[in-house]
Chains A and B, each alone.
Chain A
Amino acid sequence: MLPAPFTAEFLNRLEVLRLRTRKDVLGNRPGAYSSPRRGTSLEFADYRKYSPGDDLRYVDWGIFARSDRLYVRLFHEEVDLFAYIFIDASGSMAFPSIKEKFAPACNLAMALGYVVLANHDHVRLHSLKDENAAASPFYRGRQRMRDLIHFVSSVSPAGALEPAPCLGNHLKHIRRPGKAILISDFLVPADAYQQGLNLLRAFNLDTSVIQVLSREEIAPALLQGELSLIDSENFSELRLQWDKTISREYEEKLARHNRELKSFCHQSGIHYSFYATDEDLGRFVLKTLPATGLFR
């Protein structure tokens, strides 16, 4: 049974989407994504001198007429895509409740996964969670959507997240470069998420980042007065006097934190999107993400 947003109409509209990659990918079957290898696609890649045995169909006769030298045209190989969707499953994703943050994030991951499956590409889900590096097998084809849901349902958010070590554990098992999509709230120090994202870049993955925050995190509506706030990841306690001034300053700090993340992604060639969980998933996937360049 698919979650509520996944209506037949929504799925139909997802099927026309296709992930955009900024880098060549290494697929193992013919597909729609450019590969660094030379192949038989229609996209011209380069010339090289003719060698005996080359297919005469690829000889560029125009160059031979002008220079009396034989060159053959080389074309890009088009392969299928290996997509890696990383879902932050730390404790903070359960705030203010699982239904209000983690579930929308998972729905988003499943929507992205379905786009990949519908294009007969490979998708694999990774849950980012303290020491546990749970990852699904590669799925391909629409019929594996059920397995995708099953995997997502088995993940529950808890614990603290250190992006770099956790991503490092997952990347040990990734052999093929492809598309990496990281879904997280990124409520970690800047150097921590930067290390993690740099790690993805180092593995030559075309990385996209979707920051997911609930409305309660964007604009906390806490009762004024003295509060003892408990960190949902490490359960550390913090006492503060919550009032409108603090609320406003928090919102400014969060906006600055998000700007820094976005700026880092921009400088690092990482695609960045922001998803507020109270926003309509269909609108975000079908309008916002294509507009920001994640889909083509």
Chain B
Amino acid sequence: MSASAIVFYILGAFILGTGLLAVTTRKIFRSAVWLLFSLIGIAGFYFWLQMEFIAAVQIIVYVGGIVVLIIFSIFLTQQSGKEMPKPPLARTVLSIVAACFGFALTYYLISQYSFTAPLNPAMDASISNIGTQMLDATTEGYVLPLEVVSVLLLAAMIGCIVIAMKVKTQDK
């Protein structure tokens, strides 16, 4: 087994272990911290795949943005040290059964399917290449989804402000 394979299995165990702890721990703040570790592990996995751009985006947006947002909302909405109530036993057992069954079915389908190896030469996935193709307006380019997603982000931002805005009372 080569060093690369060992790194992959360590990363996989780290991602799955911390992910499992994130959904099972009963303290909500710890859950957020385990989620943070899981997301960092996924960023490391992208580095392992030599996709540096996606790894950087993962760290910036997920680790630096979404988890911080989640932690803020935990502090705003509840006492972080308080334990969450235990889910009923029947729900836990049924959820485990459903998840295991789904995993077994999907893994069976994956193991049955034989993936054909690529014939074309690999393209350089460097950041300059990604940027060139993203802003390309020809048929290979992705400038239209980029514009659509930027409009979506603007709409989400305005929507957040409107939803979370405090309504001022009239009698003042």
Q: Are A and B associated in one complex?
A: no
Q: Which residues of B are in contact with A by a Cβ distance under 8 Å?
A: none
Q: Which residues of A are in contact with B by a Cβ distance under 8 Å?
A: none
